[in-house]
Amino acid sequence: MTYDMLLTDLTPLIISASIILTALVIGIIVYKWFFRILIKISNSTDTDLDDALLKSLRLPFSGLIVLGGIYVAMLYFSNVPQAILNKTLSVLLIFFLILVFSRLIVNAFDWYAQSLKGNTRTPVNSKLIPIGRRASVIIIYIIGTLLIFDTLGINISPLIAGLGLSGLAVALAIQPTLSDLFAGTYVITEGSVASGDYIELDNGISGYVVAVGWRSTKVRTVMNNLVIVPNSKFAETVITNYNEPRSSLNVIVQCGVSYDSNLEEVEAVCRRVLSALVAESDLAVKEFGSYFAFDAFGESNIDFWMFIQAKDRLASFTLKSELIKRIHEEFENNSIVINYPVRTIQIDTLSNVSEEDES
């Protein structure tokens, strides 16, 4: 074999190696310097989403450059069938697209979870996002696998039909569980109820929310019993949340004094007690202040109400008890009477006397 013949045989190999080496160098340059410059530029923007997306594209884009170089290099080998080369390239492209989209979705979900960090009312970052991220990645891999099978000439129609029938059968079998799951998604994402809230349902169940899960919501009653409510029913019921829109709770005490009382004195005593309690107690919302007003002429007393605000539900019990004790003590000190139920009975004596005379 002469030198010219050897050089002729090695020329495709040398050109292919040069192309691959060039693509590899370009890929390294793009990975090391080009994307690093883009990431530095994106750091000056207000959002971190572009940083996450660039980091997702960095490795796949560089690998795609190397893949393109390998494909061009393989074209110089006449002994490689074009059909096989095209199928191989298509499979690798699909694989890279799977990698790109999966990384994009993972980084987008992570960015969104980070942006919601500290939001205790909507625990999406701890419950919904991980499941959504895993489900999205699984769907991408399933679609990518089907595309690879189709590229390789494997008939995927029976497989898709089988998956559809299997999915329908499973969905019918676990319909109640799916109903609770979707209702749990609604409850969690809405954020109207969170762990630690005191709630009351329209069926009379009340207590503190222990956990909001995918299938059920757990409520601990004041008797320290655990009530498990399926989310499908929990999402449809009427709920009173005593921690929303704020944890502060209004405390109303109703009372009444005798008709013989001096109402100006009664009001002055009550306002003095209210102001002192709000100023001295750490459980009261001082910015809210206190309110007093006479309400109605009752059967035995002139009714009135007193109004202050507690920091939370537990504080409301303590404040209400303390307010009643102080009002009772001040009424005794100032001789203000709270009547027992009193009824006055009038007898028509004249009609009774006239009836006796006639007899």
Report how many domains make up the chain.
Answer: 3
- The least confident of 66-80, 93-107, 162-176, 260-274 is 162-176
Mean pLDDT of 234-262: 86
Q: Are residues 163 and 146 in the same domain?
A: yes
For residue range 141-159, list pLDDT tens digits in order. Answer: 888 888 887 777 777 666 6
Mean pLDDT of 69-87: 68
- Closest to 141 (Cα-Cα) out of 99, 110, 92, 108: 99
- Binned at pLDDT 50, 70 and 90, residue 38 comes out as confident
Is the pLDDT at 7 greater than 50? The verdict is: no
Q: Are residues 29 and 74 in the same domain?
A: yes
Q: Are the beta carbons of 286 and 275 closer than 8 angstroms?
A: no
More confidently predicted of 121 and 28: 28
- The least confident of 95-99, 170-174, 235-239 is 170-174
206-212 and 198-201 strand pairing: antiparallel
Structure-token pair, residue 354: 């006239």
Q: Are the beta carbons of 253 and 320 closer than 8 angstroms?
A: yes
Query: What distance in Å separates the CA atoms of residue 279 and residue 283, rounded to the nearest whole number?
Result: 10
Query: What distance in Å separates the CA atoms of residue 69 and residue 16, rounded to the nearest whole number?
Result: 9
Spell out the residues 6+ positions from residue 191 whose beta carbon is closer than 8 angstroms to its own.
119, 121, 122, 123
- Binned at pLDDT 50, 70 and 90, residue 52 comes out as low
Structure-token pair, residue 254: 């109703």
Burial letters 29-40, b for 16+ CB under 10 A, else e = ebbeeebeebee
Spell out the residues 6+ positions from residue 79 whose beta carbon is closer than 8 angstroms to its own.
none
- Binned at pLDDT 50, 70 and 90, residue 174 comes out as low
| CATH label of the domain that carries residue 233 | 2.30.30.60
More confidently predicted of 353 and 168: 168
Q: Return the pLDDT at 3.
A: 44
Is the pLDDT at 13 greater than 70? The verdict is: no
Is the pLDDT at 171 greater than 60? The verdict is: no
Q: Are residues 88 and 224 in the same domain?
A: no
Mean pLDDT of 150-172: 66
Decide if 125 is inside a domain: yes
Final residue in a domain of this structure, among 241, 261, 277: 241
Q: What residues does 248 pair with on adjacent strands?
A: none
Residue-number span of the structural domain to which 22 is assigned: 3-172
Decide if 357 is inside a domain: no
Look over the chain and give the mean of its residue pLDDT values, rounded to a whole number: 77
Spell out the residues 6+ positions from residue 286 whose beta carbon is closer than 8 angstroms to its own.
278, 279
| CATH label of the domain that carries residue 268 | 3.30.70.100
- The least confident of 35-44, 241-250, 256-265 is 35-44
- Binned at pLDDT 50, 70 and 90, residue 324 comes out as very high
